[in-house]
């Protein structure tokens, strides 16, 4: 398939200026033009290469300041690379700061015209598509009102609608899915999926790893301007998460050895990681830490937050002695945003059936900072769980199953 | 980097309908905004030179008498030409900084912005022409076929203003006080341009410096074809056009570089 986007060894640097760089003509004239020149270069991106074929979606992940926005600017030709080359085939649409281009004093209709023409449609094409744009944005009644009377949601709906109705062959998306109401979000997602099917190449920038895993065909992980990993979304996402874990280790303070409620020693950086801003003080497994194959399991985490913490993420996973993880669930990928937590509290996860093969397992629990930046407290291989079953084997799953034997012997002899 | 593989001219012809539509819609937007923001709307752009004219007529016909025939027509021509030039330079200077959302759109041709400003100014200039003609007729001026050269003069002034606009807008990215400085400089040049006085009064020994101001020749050329019905000073116009042809590409490149830098820095 033909590449819609080709990025080869791209590098981009910014310039740092003298702190006392003159900002006005007068100053410059008085103090001399020496300090107008930049002091040094700082690379915001270096040696970045990837390609996106038509109909493909690539996810770019990384922490703040990793160069994600710079990459989008380069792709949008808003900035030019200092090294390497970028090839783009087709019209580029962008879902970057939605609605910023609108002028408050103009009506929605007038703004649609200007914005759509800027994106590359002709006047006649805009006139033809106007009804569809307005209908998609659900703004039929308000389209002739000045945009300054719109709510943020209405502005974004209109901006999104314009962007997708200009038939871009390449779409640049910047974290927009985290804003707007839920029904609008799902509408956007459907719309993007449809465009992708019709052959639109999409670049999604996000720091939500699970979103990239779900939506993208490939993932690119940027760290401090360089590519850390590029390939299958699940693989890249895994590496990204691992890296975060090692960062957590560095943040883990020295902490006296504690005993867990079940009596296991909690040793920092061995089976316990995290900054301890929030501590896991107790984990309860119900009905018991020894269950039957077909039983359900309830994991209750008791925590203590010494100071208020915003949007934490709770996670529970089940693994075997060798570290293989069989189950992994967290509040973020279940779509739960938690409020600010403080002091003591409890959170529970109810698993209806485990259906794991008999053996010894560990329940790992963790509390993470917003966006998985690092862990507050993570207990690895502390809480053991034994699944009793008379069925053993090399498999992992043991769902309810039956063998049925039907002999075909009689019909064979007849013919 | 990408465009180098495509022939520039070929690319331009492919982009031309787009640029035309864009120019139209952006000028349209500017005009609409002007209507919406002031109660007087477009009338304001006419009232302002008329008030200026009134003051000049009072000062130089009543207080200090200048012997200059058809004074109202003379001053009004000068004012229209000068105001177009001055207003555009003012607005164009801030155009990169004020149009950040537009510049951030993928593929937006930033270089169109000063052209939009100058075109909007041209439309106001054209809208004021009937009033100018009325003054000319009241002053008993006989219009000759030379009036048809008006579009040519407008074209030269257009190109000259765009050239300066690119340069000033680029400068304003590095030095944010360009607009203030420009105000002072423009005021000085207003007096160094024959808007309300005659050229005859300039002593020959100062002429070589005075004549370096291109607006001197442009304003005179307008008067030559509109009021006096004589051929404009072709030599001066040719020299100005030649200088524009050299400077325009340079200031255009400077503008493009600076507008990129502006987006990248923030």
User: Is-contact B73 B134, C-beta < 8 A?
Assistant: no
The predicted model gives A210-228 an average pLDDT of 86
The CATH code of domain A258-388 reads 2.70.50.60
pLDDT at A282: 85
Is the per-residue pLDDT at A293 higher than 60?
yes
Q: Quick one: pLDDT at residue B123?
A: 92
Decide which of A139 and B248 is more confident.
B248
The overall average pLDDT reported for chain B is 87
> What average pLDDT is seen over chain A?
81
Among B108, B111, B114, CA closest to B91: B114
Provide the pLDDT for residue A262: 61
Q: Cβ of A218: how many Cβ atoms within 10 Å?
A: 19
Percent of chain A with pLDDT over 90: 2
Chain A residues with beta carbon closer than 8 angstroms to that of B174 = 36
B-chain CB neighbours of A93 within 8 Å are: 106
ipTM: 0.78
Confidence of residue A395 (pLDDT cuts 50, 70, 90): confident
Does the pLDDT at position B5 exceed 50?
no
Q: Are B96 and B103 in contact (CB under 8 A)?
A: yes
Give the pLDDT band (50/70/90) at residue B237: very high
Share of chain B above pLDDT 90, in %: 50
- pLDDT bracket for residue B15 (50, 70, 90): confident
Q: Which residue has the higher pLDDT, B61 or B43?
A: B61
**B3 interfacial to chain A (CB closer than 8 Å):** no
| pLDDT tens-place string over residues B46-85 | 888 899 999 998 998 889 888 888 888 999 999 999 999 9
Q: What is the per-residue pLDDT for A255?
A: 59
Decide which of A352 and A269 is more confident. A352
Q: How does pLDDT run across B132-161, given as a tens digit for each residue? A: 999 999 998 888 999 999 999 999 999 999
- Partner residue opposite B17 with nearest CB, options A78, A100, A122: A122
Residue A155's CB is within 10 A of a number of other CB atoms, namely: 21
Beta strands at A226-231 and A265-266: parallel, antiparallel or unpaired: unpaired
pLDDT computed for residue B152 by the predictor: 95
A309 with A277: CB under 8 angstroms? yes
Range in A277-281, A315-319, B4-8 with the lowest mean pLDDT: B4-8
| Interface contact flag, A26 B177, Cβ < 8 Å | yes
The residue of chain A with its CA nearest to that of B30 is: A106
A413 versus A195: the higher-pLDDT residue is: A195
Distance from CA of B1 to the nearest CA of A (A): 7
More confident residue, A64 or A22: A64
CB contact under 8 Å between A119 and B105, yes or no, is yes
Helices (H) and strands (E) in chain A, counts: 9, 20
Please compute the mean of the pLDDT values over residues A365-388 and round it to a whole number.
Answer: 84
Of the candidates B208, B212, B45, B10, the residue with the CA atom closest to the CA atom of residue B120? B45
Contact A116, A166 (CB under 8 A): yes
**Chain A residues with CB-CB distance to B17 below 8 A:** 122
Give the Cα separation of A220 and B43 in Å (integer).
Answer: 57
Query: What are the chain A neighbours of B181 within 8 Å (beta carbons)?
Result: 25-26
Q: Report chain B residues whose CB lies below 8 A from the CB of A80.
A: 1, 260
Sign of the C-alpha dihedral computed for residues B53, B58, B60 and B66 taken in this order: positive
Euclidean distance between CA atoms B78 and B220, whole angstroms: 8
b (16+ CB within 10 A) / e for B61-80: eeeeeeeeebbbbbbbbbbb
Q: Tell me the average pLDDT across A394-399.
A: 79
Model confidence at A390: pLDDT above 90? no
Closest by alpha carbon to A56, among A219, A222, A207?
A: A219
Nearest CA to B111 out of B31, B32, B177, B169 is that of: B169
Q: Please judge whether A118 and B22 are an interchain contact, meaning their C-beta atoms are less than 8 angstroms apart.
A: yes
- Which residues of chain A does B29 touch, with a Cβ-Cβ cutoff of 8 Å? 103, 106, 110, 114
User: Which range (A79-88, B11-20, B28-37) has the least confidence?
Assistant: B11-20
| Among B155, B176, B1, residue whose Cα is nearest residue A86 | B1
Binning pLDDT at 50, 70 and 90, where does residue A24 land?
Answer: confident
SS3 A393: coil
Tokens 């209109």 correspond to what residue?
A158
Both tokens assigned to A272: 């316990």
Mean pLDDT of A257-276: 70
- Between CA B134 and CA B146 the distance in angstroms is 18
Write out pLDDT tens, residues A63-120. 877 888 888 888 888 888 888 888 888 888 888 777 677 888 888 888 898 888 888 8
Residue A43 in tokens: 């690379």
Q: Using only the alpha carbons of chain B, give its radius of gyration.
A: 20
Q: Which residues contact B74 (CB under 8 A, 6 or more apart)?
A: B68, B223, B227
**What's the pLDDT score for residue B220?**
94
- B82-133 residue pLDDT tens: 999 999 999 999 888 888 888 878 878 888 999 999 999 999 999 899 999 9
What pLDDT is attached to residue A39? 66
Count how many Cα atoms sit within 13 Å of the Cα of residue A42 in the half-sphere of its side chain: 14
Q: Which of A295, A365, A79, A302 is nearest to B265 (CA)?
A: A79
Instruction: Write the CATH number of the domain with boundaries A3-242.
Output: 3.40.50.300
Which of A47-56, A194-203, B151-160 shows the highest mean pLDDT?
Answer: B151-160
> By the CB < 8 Å criterion, does B18 face chain A?
yes
**Are A75 and B24 in contact (CB < 8 Å)?**
no
Tell me the mean pLDDT in the region A395-405: 83
Contacts of A36 in chain B (CB under 8 A): 174
Q: Are strands A278-286 and A170-174 parallel, antiparallel or unpaired?
A: unpaired
Question: Residue A58 pLDDT > 80, yes or no?
Answer: yes
Q: Tell me if chain A has a CB within 8 Å of the CB of B253.
A: no
Q: State residue A305's pLDDT score.
A: 87
Residues 6+ apart with CB under 8 A from A153: A180, A181, A184
Q: ω into residue B89 within 30 of 0, thus cis?
A: no
What confidence score (pLDDT) does residue B254 get?
92
Instruction: For Cα atoms A75, A81, A83, give the angle at the middle one, nearest 5 degrees.
Output: 130
What pLDDT does B248 receive?
95
**Spatial separation of the C-alpha atoms in residues A332 and A311, rounded to whole Å:** 10
Predicted local confidence at residue A21, as pLDDT: 67
**Residue range A14-21: average pLDDT?**
69
pLDDT at residue B2 in the model: 41
B177 pLDDT tier (thresholds 50, 70, 90): confident
Stronger pLDDT, A97 or B224, i.e. the higher one: B224
Nearest CA in chain B to A85: B1
CB contact under 8 A, A22 and B175: yes
pLDDT over 90 at A375, yes or no: no
Q: Which residue of B has its CA nearest to A172?
A: B106
Q: What are the extents of the domains in chain A?
A: 3-242, 258-388
Cα dihedral across residues B16, B17, B18, B19: positive or negative: positive
Nearest to A376, CA basis, from A309, A285, A299, A319: A309
Find residues 84-113 of chain B whose CB sits inside 8 Å of chain A: 101-108
**Four-residue CA torsion sign, B141, B144, B149, B151:** positive
Radius of gyration over every alpha carbon of chain A, rounded to an integer in angstroms: 27
**Rounded distance, CA A402 to CA B208, Å?**
107
- pTM summary value: 0.69
Closest chain A residue to the Cα of B3, Cα to Cα: A87
């Amino acid at each position: 398939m033909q590449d819609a986007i080709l990025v080869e060894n791209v590098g981009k640097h910014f310039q740092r200026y003298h702190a006392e760089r003159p900002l006005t003509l007068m100053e410059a004239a008085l103090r001399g033009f020496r300090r107008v020149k930049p002091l040094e270069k700082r690379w915001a991106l270096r040696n970045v290469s990837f390609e996106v074929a038509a109909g493909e979606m690539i996810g770019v992940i990384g922490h703040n300041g990793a160069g994600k926005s710079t990459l989008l600017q380069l792709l949008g030709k808003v900035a030019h690379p200092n090294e390497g080359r970028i090839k783009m085939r087709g019209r580029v649409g962008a879902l970057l700061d939605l609605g910023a281009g609108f002028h408050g004093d103009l009506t929605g209709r007038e703004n649609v015209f200007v914005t759509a023409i800027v994106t590359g449609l002709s006047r006649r094409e805009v006139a033809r598509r106007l009804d569809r744009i307005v209908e998609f944005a659900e703004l039929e009644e308000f389209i002739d009102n000045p945009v300054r009377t719109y709510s943020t949601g209405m502005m974004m709906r209109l901006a999104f609608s314009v962007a997708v109705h200009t038939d871009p062959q390449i779409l640049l998306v910047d974290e927009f899915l985290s804003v707007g109401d839920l029904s609008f979000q799902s509408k956007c997602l459907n719309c993007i999926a449809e465009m992708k099917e019709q052959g639109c190449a999409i670049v999604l920038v996000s720091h939500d790893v699970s979103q990239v895993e779900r939506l993208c065909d490939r993932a690119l992980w940027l760290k401090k301007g360089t590519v850390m990993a590029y390939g299958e979304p699940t693989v890249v996402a895994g590496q990204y998460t691992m890296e975060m874990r090692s960062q957590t280790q560095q943040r883990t303070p020295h902490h006296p050895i504690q005993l867990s409620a079940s009596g296991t020693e909690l040793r920092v950086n061995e089976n316990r990681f995290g900054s301890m801003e929030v501590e896991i003080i107790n984990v309860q497994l119900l009905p018991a830490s020894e269950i039957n194959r077909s039983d359900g399991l309830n994991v209750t985490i008791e925590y203590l937050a010494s100071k208020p913490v915003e949007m934490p993420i709770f996670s529970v996973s089940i693994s075997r002695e060798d570290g293989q993880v069989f189950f992994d669930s967290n509040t973020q990928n279940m779509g739960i945003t938690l409020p600010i937590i403080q002091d003591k509290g409890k959170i529970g996860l109810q698993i209806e059936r485990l259906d794991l093969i008999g053996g010894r397992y560990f329940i790992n629990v963790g509390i993470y900072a917003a966006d998985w930046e690092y862990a507050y407290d993570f207990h690895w291989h502390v809480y053991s769980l034994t699944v009793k079953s008379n069925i053993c084997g090399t498999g992992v799953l043991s769902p309810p199953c039956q063998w049925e034997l039907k002999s075909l012997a009689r019909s064979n002899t007849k013919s | 980097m990408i465009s180098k593989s495509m022939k520039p001219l070929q690319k331009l012809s492919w982009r031309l309908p787009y640029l035309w539509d864009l120019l139209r819609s952006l000028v349209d937007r500017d005009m609409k905004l002007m209507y919406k923001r002031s109660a007087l709307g477009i009338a304001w752009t006419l009232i302002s030179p008329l008030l200026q004219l009134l003051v000049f007529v009072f000062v130089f016909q009543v207080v200090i008498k200048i012997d200059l025939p058809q004074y109202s027509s003379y001053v009004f021509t000068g004012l229209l030409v000068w105001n177009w030039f001055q207003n555009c330079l003012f607005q164009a200077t801030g155009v990169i900084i004020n149009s950040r959302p537009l510049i951030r759109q993928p593929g937006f041709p930033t270089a169109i912005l000063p052209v939009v400003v100058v075109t909007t100014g041209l439309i106001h200039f054209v809208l004021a022409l009937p009033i100018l003609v009325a003054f000319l007729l009241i002053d008993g001026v006989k219009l000759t076929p030379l009036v048809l050269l008006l579009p040519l003069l407008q074209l030269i002034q257009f190109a000259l203003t765009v050239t300066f606009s690119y340069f000033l807008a680029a400068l304003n990215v590095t030095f944010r006080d360009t607009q203030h400085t420009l105000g002072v400089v423009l005021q000085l040049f207003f007096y160094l341009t024959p808007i309300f006085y005659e050229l005859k009064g300039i002593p020959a020994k100062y002429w070589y410096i005075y004549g370096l101001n291109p607006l001197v020749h442009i304003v005179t050329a307008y008067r030559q074809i509109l009021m006096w019905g004589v051929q404009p000073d072709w030599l001066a116009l040719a020299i100005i056009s030649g200088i524009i042809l050299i400077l325009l590409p340079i200031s255009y490149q400077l503008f493009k570089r600076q507008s990129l830098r502006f987006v990248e820095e923030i």
